[in-house]
Amino acid sequence: MTAPQTVSCPALFLSAPSSGEGKTTFTAALARYFRDQGKVVRIFKTGPDYLDPQILAQASGQDVEQLDMWMAGEEYCQQKLFEAAQVADLILVEGAMGMFDGDPSSADLAARFNIPVAIVMDVKGMAQTAAALVTGMANFRPDVHVAGLIANSCGTERHAELIRNALPEDLPLLATLPRNPDVALPERHLGLVQAEEVRDELEQRFNAGVDWVAGNPITELPAPVEFHAAEVPAVEPLLQGKKIAIAKDVAFSFIYDANLRLLQAMGAEYEFFSPLNDTVMPEADALWLPGGYPELYPAQLAGNTEMHRQIQMFHEAGKPILAECGGFLYCLETLTDLEENTYPMLGLMQGQGAMRGKRGCQGMQTAVLPEGDIRAHAHHRSRSEGTREPIGHGRRQRHPAPGEAIYRERGLTASYLHLFFASNPEAIAAVFNGADIAALAE
């Protein structure tokens, strides 16, 4: 029997005029509402985000994929939506920043896949002006269909009436949501708090969110959207027989599920371990130290000297190690936290890391490695100094200045960049295989 090439599924894109309007809070509440109705809800998050997907995965009970046509490629995004449509009763896509911000933007993604957009807007302090703003957004691009407005922080029924009456007939008010601190999601310096840290609290907020959205027109399933299969190349077993140890705990959790699935598809086996709590590193051919929040647990990381010894021995053996952002900081000699306390780290490479308050770096970059170019992004509020010369720098998406430094010492590849493996599976396989890694660095 021939597999279907087109599948229809109700879908809605949640966007906003800017960050901070309540997109993630609303998306989580709506997902939990439909999940409680027995629906399978698949959520996608626009852009290179780790924290929002953790929250949304708990709310929906399903894996959450990142969609970014620059980072992952248009065909990749098309195929992931198609696969989700085969199993879901509803697809939700949460945008990033403002609707038209970035290149590609949320509007670009919605237009490419014909997904109607609901605009989430915090309407505190305005009434008819909210209608004017959403009307302007709805008419800014003819290829984007705006389904209506979700008015967050809507004070009273009179407030809602003023907005509703000012909207054109083809732009309905899909939801009016009162200000409710019980549904707001906890945050910290890089965004939302990790789901693993506040799982029980999140359940309480999701349950409050169900009541928050109930009774609004938005709780009716949207119209079906057609999703088409894409022609994506087969994944070669380039890591067949390899085992990869992956750091994973509350200090190291910035891991795309898509990266893990690709490693498996290439034939690799992986095992998680905790640099915070474990004293034994799994036996492995390669090691991945992903990003996260090591700056919140420096004393515990520093005190686990047996894990230090295990990883240092692994490095001295010349085995391949990939260290990204927080993992990169862990590989330095010391790390200074936001209270100016300094702690010893692994010392796999020369240099010191330090937090820098509210100042930071973020943006899309290409990691230019000897093995090949890999799409990536940076998002950090720390700095490194005293390091040796890098082997190269990331290439920024839209700016000529050099991006993040990329270091290589023995089998260690380290940078602030978070890599999206599917953008170049062959290069990722070469990094983890470690074949001729020293020669490639020369």
3-class DSSP state of 23: helix
Q: What is the pLDDT of residue 436?
A: 47
Closest CA to 326 of 249, 401, 394: 249
pLDDT tens-digit profile of 26-58?
A: 999 999 999 999 999 999 999 888 888 989 999
- pLDDT above 60 (res 190): no
Any idea which residue has 């970059």 for tokens?
365
Q: At 60, which helix (H) or strand (E)? A: helix 51-60
Average pLDDT score, the chain: 92
3-class DSSP state of 86: coil
Domains of the chain and CATH, by start: 6-228 (3.40.50.300), 243-441 (3.40.50.880)
Pairwise CA distance, residues 80 & 54, whole Å: 18
- pLDDT above 60 (res 195): no
Region 103-121 average pLDDT: 97
Length of the chain: 442
Closest CA to 121 of 164, 150, 156, 162: 150
Closest CA to 152 of 182, 176, 126: 176
The confidence band for 442, taking pLDDT boundaries of 50, 70 and 90, is very low
- Measured CA angle at 309 (ends 307, 314), to 5 deg: 95
Q: Which two tokens stand for residue 222?
A: 């949207």
- pLDDT above 80 (res 376): yes
Pairwise CA distance, residues 219 & 203, whole Å: 20
Which residues fall within 8 angstroms of residue 181, CB to CB, at 6 or more apart?
none
Q: What is the pLDDT of residue 441?
A: 40
9 carries an active-site annotation: no
Q: Which of 9, 77, 154, 325 is catalytic?
A: 325
